[in-house]
């Protein structure tokens, strides 16, 4: 007896120490190991890059894609439409005791369903559109808080467990290989036949299939159709003239042949376009340093396919002129590859070849492009023309001579670099703010994110250093899985936690851009492929909170002592814009007013490049006291 009491006391003490240890380090170690095991199973390039380091830290926004955490514990795991593959371990979720939401839909995962015995707080489970097999886990019966269970479009077999949770409001097991009679629980009987459809062996209400046991007293399986009493139509069929059937078949083949010939004629030009652009891509892959690329010197007839639709009067070159032009690869973006086309006796044109778009009709695509074209502002890169066919979509823009903001901030550091001074950076901040305000005031409906992908590589500099924001208005064109993986607004705290984006997501992106402009550091939220970045918002908040602010500003502007007040004001605006709570962020009209109120001192006193720590610490007290740092 005494030994048993000692053992129980030791067990309780060990559990208490373990819980305290989790609280001290800010996350649960067993959960992290379980996530690493999932990562190894998926072996996905995107998750291999993103899932590293600390997955959760107290109530700060998680750095790992698809996670939501509270008090350092994982409460939601959402990895939809990532093309994940792998044979899942049935015990993969055993360590996630606080898990409330699980969504792995629209992937290619296989294996038996998970054992949910340790996930008593689960409310929402969505494993639809995968390749899970085996039976539905009986552990689901014990989830008293279950609200939604979606297992449709898998390869599940066996019968449906007797689920009877009153909380269950969404349920779907259609398109599987389930069999047997559906249990007569109040919950299962409350759903319609569509929740059970396309399961050949499933029977009983609420479906219309009668179970065999009701008819013959045998095991519960779906009864076969009654063919014994079916009317015999063979006698009537033999009287139908066979010539009618032959005539219909012949006409069918003639019509299809004509359609095929018409299709080949209409799309000959498109095939030439695709062949030429594919040649460009292949040459770029073989030698990234070779930028001069030539399209084939052919000019298709205008009536053989799509044609260029211009947004401005006075533009008169044809698709053939574009195909004959020499071209230079500008790189790969979220929405497709871009090329600089050098036309004869004309300024260069940028050709953006779109990919991964939503399945839009011609009218839907043209309507969205027309909305983009109507956005005219001195700080927006104007759309010149577009080309549309079913297989190929091209957008044409004016070429920005001085490249993009990312290269201006981060490129060519070292000897011979032209410094990017404070005055130039402030002008960029003001120009981007005006462009974003214009988009926010002129984009309808209100639930559309006006830009959606604001980052330094999408801010261009014209021949006279004019600021031009590009890649706006694509939120309504690009497919959601691509947007969720690549567009900057989908990296915002509200999407990571609640799967929602709004106009305030653009404001958050603008705040991150300002911090990148001030610090000269690469942001992990918008780093181009091949570049490594850090979470600048969290880094700056930590710098202000811990008062080591001497390291915040880029060395190229830190030496401009007279500009320090302006830099501090812009940093305050950036921190407010990047607040983790969308409701606490200002709207863009207020942001423009504040950014334009910052005084620009052209020839201020230069300060020592050592940048005395006491100067910035004293000055930054306004930042620390004037802004409530959100530490969630």
Angle of helix 588-596 versus helix 564-577 axis, rounded to 10: 170
Distances (CA, A) of 183 to 124, 180, 186, 198, 214: 22, 9, 9, 18, 14
- Please state the domain count of the chain: 3
How do strand 108-112 and strand 85-87 relate by DSSP bridges?
A: parallel
Of 300, 266, 296, 297, the C-alpha closest to 280 is 296
Would you say residue 16 has pLDDT above 60?
Answer: no
Of 555, 592, 601, 595, the C-alpha closest to 572 is 595
- Point out the domain boundary residue: 203, 228, 252: 203
What is the C-alpha separation between 314 and 171, in angstroms, rounded? 58
Domain co-membership, 405 together with 551: yes
Domain co-membership, 323 together with 181: no
Please tell me the predicted confidence (pLDDT) of residue 276. Answer: 55
Domain co-membership, 365 together with 465: no
Would you say residue 356 has pLDDT above 60?
Answer: yes
Please tell me the predicted confidence (pLDDT) of residue 124. Answer: 94
Provide the token pair at 327.
């071209």
**What pLDDT digit, counting tens, does each position of 242-252 carry?**
888 888 898 88
pLDDT interval class at 164 (50, 70, 90): very high
Would you say residue 233 has pLDDT above 50?
Answer: no
Please tell me the predicted confidence (pLDDT) of residue 15. Answer: 42
Instruction: Look over the chain and give the mean of its residue pLDDT values, rounded to a whole number.
Output: 77
For residues 329 and 320, the answer to whether their CB atoms sit within 8 Å is no
**What pLDDT digit, counting tens, does each position of 394-423 carry?**
888 888 888 888 888 888 777 778 888 898
Please tell me the predicted confidence (pLDDT) of residue 622. Answer: 42
Please tell me the predicted confidence (pLDDT) of residue 110. Answer: 92
**What pLDDT digit, counting tens, does each position of 254-264 carry?**
988 888 887 77
- Point out the domain boundary residue: 350, 384, 399: 399
Would you say residue 177 has pLDDT above 80?
Answer: yes
250 within a domain of the structure (yes/no): no
Please tell me the predicted confidence (pLDDT) of residue 45. Answer: 82
Domain of 393? 308-399
Q: Considering only 40-49, 191-200, 265-274, 276-285, which range has the smallest mean pLDDT?
A: 276-285
Would you say residue 624 has pLDDT above 60?
Answer: no
Q: Work out the number of other CB atoms within 10 angstroms of the CB of residue 352.
A: 21
Would you say residue 178 has pLDDT above 70?
Answer: yes
Would you say residue 594 has pLDDT above 90?
Answer: yes
190 within a domain of the structure (yes/no): yes
Distances (CA, A) of 524 to 230, 534, 535, 570: 68, 5, 5, 21
- Point out the domain boundary residue: 351, 378, 399: 399
Domain co-membership, 81 together with 194: yes
**What pLDDT digit, counting tens, does each position of 286-308 carry?**
444 333 333 333 333 333 346 77
Please tell me the predicted confidence (pLDDT) of residue 445. Answer: 65
- The pTM of this model reads 0.52
Domain co-membership, 378 together with 420: no
21 within a domain of the structure (yes/no): no
């Amino acid at each position: 007896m005494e030994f048993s009491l000692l053992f129980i006391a030791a067990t309780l003490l060990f559990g208490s120490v373990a819980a305290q240890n989790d609280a001290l380090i800010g996350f649960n170690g067993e959960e992290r190991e379980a996530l690493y095991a999932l990562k190894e199973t998926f072996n996905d390039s995107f998750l291999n890059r993103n899932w590293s380091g600390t997955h959760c830290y107290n109530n700060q926004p998680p750095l790992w894609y698809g996670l939501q955490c509270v008090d350092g514990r994982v409460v939601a795991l959402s990895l939809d439409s990532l093309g994940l593959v792998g044979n899942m371990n049935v015990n993969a979720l055993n360590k996630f005791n606080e898990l409330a939401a699980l969504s792995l839909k629209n992937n290619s995962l296989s294996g038996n369903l998970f054992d949910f015995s340790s996930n008593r707080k689960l409310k929402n489970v969505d494993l639809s559109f995968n390749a899970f097999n085996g039976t539905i886990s009986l552990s689901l019966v014990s989830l008293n808080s279950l609200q939604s269970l979606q297992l449709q479009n898998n390869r599940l077999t066996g019968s449906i467990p007797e689920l009877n949770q009153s909380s269950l409001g969404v349920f779907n097991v259609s398109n599987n290989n389930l069999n047997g009679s559906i249990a007569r629980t109040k919950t299962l009987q409350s759903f319609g036949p569509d929740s059970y459809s396309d399961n050949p062996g499933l029977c009983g209400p609420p479906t219309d299939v009668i179970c065999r046991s009701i008819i013959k007293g045998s095991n519960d399986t779906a009864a076969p159709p009654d063919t014994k009493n079916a009317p015999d139509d063979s006698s009537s069929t033999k009287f139908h003239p066979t010539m009618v059937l032959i005539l219909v078949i012949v006409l069918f083949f003639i019509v299809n042949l004509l359609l095929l010939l018409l299709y080949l004629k209409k799309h000959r030009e498109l095939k030439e376009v695709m062949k030429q652009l594919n040649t460009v891509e292949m040459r770029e892959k073989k030698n990234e340093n070779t930028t001069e690329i030539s399209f084939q010197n052919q000019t298709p007839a205008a009536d053989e396919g799509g044609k260029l639709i211009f947004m401005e009067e006075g533009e008169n070159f044809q698709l053939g002129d574009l195909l004959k032009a020499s071209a230079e690869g500008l790189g790969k973006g979220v929405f497709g590859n871009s090329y600089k086309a050098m036309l004869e006796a004309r300024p260069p044109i940028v050709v953006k070849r779109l990919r991964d778009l939503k399945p839009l009709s011609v009218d839907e695509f043209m309507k969205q492009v027309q909305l983009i074209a109507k956005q005219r502002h001195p700080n927006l890169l104007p759309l010149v023309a577009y080309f549309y066919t079913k297989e190929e979509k091209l957008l044409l823009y004016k070429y920005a001579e001085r490249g993009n903001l990312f290269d201006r901030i981060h490129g060519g550091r070292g000897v011979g670099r032209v410094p990017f001074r404070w005055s130039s950076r402030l002008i960029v901040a003001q120009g981007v703010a005006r462009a974003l305000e214009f988009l926010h005031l002129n984009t309808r409906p209100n639930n559309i994110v006006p830009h959606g992908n604001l980052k330094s590589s999408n801010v261009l500099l014209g021949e006279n250093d004019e600021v031009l924001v590009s890649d706006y208005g694509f939120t309504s064109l690009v497919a959601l899985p691509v947007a969720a993986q690549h567009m900057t607004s989908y990296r915002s705290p509200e999407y990571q936690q609640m799967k929602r984006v709004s106009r305030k997501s653009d404001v958050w992106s603008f705040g991150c851009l300002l911090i990148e402009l001030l610090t000269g550091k690469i942001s992990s939220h918008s780093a181009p492929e091949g570049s490594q970045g850090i979470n600048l918002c969290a880094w700056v908040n930590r710098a202000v909170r811990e008062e080591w602010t001497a390291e915040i500003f880029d060395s190229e502007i830190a030496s401009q002592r007279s500009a320090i007040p302006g830099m501090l004001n812009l940093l305050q605006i950036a921190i407010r814009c990047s607040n983790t709570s969308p409701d606490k962020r200002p709207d863009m009209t207020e942001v423009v007013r504040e950014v334009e109120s910052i005084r620009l001192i052209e020839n201020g006193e230069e300060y020592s490049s050592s940048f005395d720590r006491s100067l910035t610490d004293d000055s930054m007290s306004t930042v620390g006291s004037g802004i409530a740092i959100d530490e969630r």
